[in-house]
Amino acid sequence: MKERNIGLGILGLATLIVVVSMFLKGRSDTSPSTASNGMQPVTVNIKLGSEKVGLLEDIEVKKLLQERFNLTVAYKKQGSIDMVTSDTSGLDALWPSSQVAAQMYTKPLRMRETILNSPMTLYCATEVADALIKRGIVKVEAGIYYITDMPKLLELITQRKTWSSIGLPNLNGRVTVYSTNPAQSNSGIMFAGLLANLLNKNEVATSRTVTSILPQLKEFFTEQGYKSGNSDEIFNNFLSVGDQPMIVGYEAQLVEVSLNQPQNLPYISKNVRTLYPKPTVWTQHPLLVLSPNGDRLLVALKSPEFQKLAWERHGFRPSNPVVASDPKSLKITGVPERVQSTIAMPDSDVMTTILNYLKQR
């Protein structure tokens, strides 16, 4: 804990140095093209996870970045695992969807700092949630749907139970939880980490214990069949097509839809349920800074103004402690004020072992 606090202090000091240096630079720059905040306008080139596209396309976010920080963000979306293992030439920053992905980036960095947070959730049809409640797998507490018996859910999957066998004759195929491809996308690899912990008797999987559970993990993901390469695609498919009755996602995804597509609120309220696994894992969204322009973006994204917009308009929980994340400000119910039942992800070496094993044919 002491080492972690020291690390956080160093990051905070580094961020402060960036702010001060930009302030001093702004005072000495009086060119006509410099905005009133003293910073030259720049375009920042980044790659990011697909679930954050709506955030950066938000007109209020664009306005804040341009008018307050003189920044325009040019982005390409890419799965977090692909992002941190591919070429970064010409980029100012990477914005993957977890520390696990960030730790797989092995090239030099100027800085790495968490910007936003979102717990991993499962999304399912209302009828699926009702069936799982009857089997004692899901419980509703204060309006929040919790998966209180994840081992029992895994048992349904490993025993190849059909949806029909649990009282859902209108759904075809076997009970499963669909995810993105863990070799490409963060939500897939995060779910693999959570499953590894569950298969390890609800303890964090280690290099000593992971070998014995790898075949079970491989079977689970192989049984899914086709897997999407990004979190946005699988979530949108779930809402529009509905051929996957239960999927892995982020809390922020449904919140964002409810805030930005109010016309769909009646459908969401009636047909969709957000399930919080007990325990779940946090997906942090760190910015990996590669250039001085990336430094400027980091300062902007950590600002209270940006963090407030990210929560109130897109459902991402802030990393800035000054900004509150009150579910009462949202348009949907079923979002807890705090997510307390969590488990740590396996370390990066273990996750790399899992990833490499899942890639094998």
Domain of residue 94 covers 2-117+284-329
User: What predicted TM-score, i.e. pTM, was given to this entire model?
Assistant: 0.85
Q: Give the residue with greater pLDDT, 2 vs 361.
A: 361
Q: How many domains in the chain? A: 2
Could you tell me which residues are beta bridge partners of residue 277?
147
Burial environment of residue 203 by CB neighbours within 10 A (0 to 12, 13 to 18, 19 or more): exposed
User: Could you tell me if 54 and 194 lie in one domain?
Assistant: no
- Whether 3 has a pLDDT exceeding 80, the answer reads no
- Whether 13 has a pLDDT exceeding 50, the answer reads no
Angle CA 308–112–25, to nearest 5: 75
User: Could you tell me if 226 and 132 lie in one domain?
Assistant: yes
pLDDT of the residue at 224: 86
Length of the chain in residues, anyone?
Answer: 361
Report in angstroms the alpha-carbon separations of 355 from 41, 120, 188.
40, 19, 10
User: Could you tell me if 222 and 325 lie in one domain?
Assistant: no
Q: In this predicted model, what pLDDT tens digit does every residue of 185-228 receive, in sequence order? A: 889 999 999 999 999 999 999 999 999 999 999 999 998 888 88
Q: In this predicted structure, which of 4-13, 277-286, 345-354 has the lowest mean pLDDT?
A: 4-13
Extended beta strands in 51-129, E state: 71-77, 93-95, 111-125
User: Could you tell me if 127 and 165 lie in one domain?
Assistant: yes
Give 3-state DSSP helix, strand, coil % of the chain, rounded to 5: 50, 20, 35
- Whether 152 has a pLDDT exceeding 80, the answer reads yes
How many alpha carbons lie under 13 Å from residue 83 in its C-beta half-sphere? Answer: 30
User: Could you tell me if 90 and 191 lie in one domain?
Assistant: no
User: Could you tell me if 126 and 229 lie in one domain?
Assistant: yes
Q: In this predicted model, what pLDDT tens digit does every residue of 43-65 receive, in sequence order? A: 999 999 989 999 999 999 999 99
307-324 mean pLDDT: 93
User: Could you tell me if 101 and 128 lie in one domain?
Assistant: no
Q: What is the mean pLDDT of the chain?
A: 88
Q: How confident is the model at residue 17 (pLDDT cuts 50, 70, 90)?
A: very low
- Whether 108 has a pLDDT exceeding 50, the answer reads yes
Residue 6, domain CATH:
3.40.190.10
Cβ proximity of 354 and 194 under 8 Å: no
- Whether 23 has a pLDDT exceeding 90, the answer reads no
User: Could you tell me if 23 and 138 lie in one domain?
Assistant: no
Q: How confident is the model at residue 84 (pLDDT cuts 50, 70, 90)?
A: very high
User: Could you tell me if 128 and 215 lie in one domain?
Assistant: yes
User: Could you tell me if 15 and 64 lie in one domain?
Assistant: yes
User: Could you tell me if 58 and 141 lie in one domain?
Assistant: no
- Whether 330 has a pLDDT exceeding 90, the answer reads no
Q: In this predicted model, what pLDDT tens digit does every residue of 240-256 receive, in sequence order? A: 888 899 999 999 999 99
User: Could you tell me if 41 and 92 lie in one domain?
Assistant: yes
Q: Give Cβ neighbours of residue 271 (< 8 Å, ≥ 6 apart).
A: 125, 126
In this structure, how many other beta carbons lie within 10 angstroms of the beta carbon of residue 352?
A: 15
157-173 mean pLDDT: 95
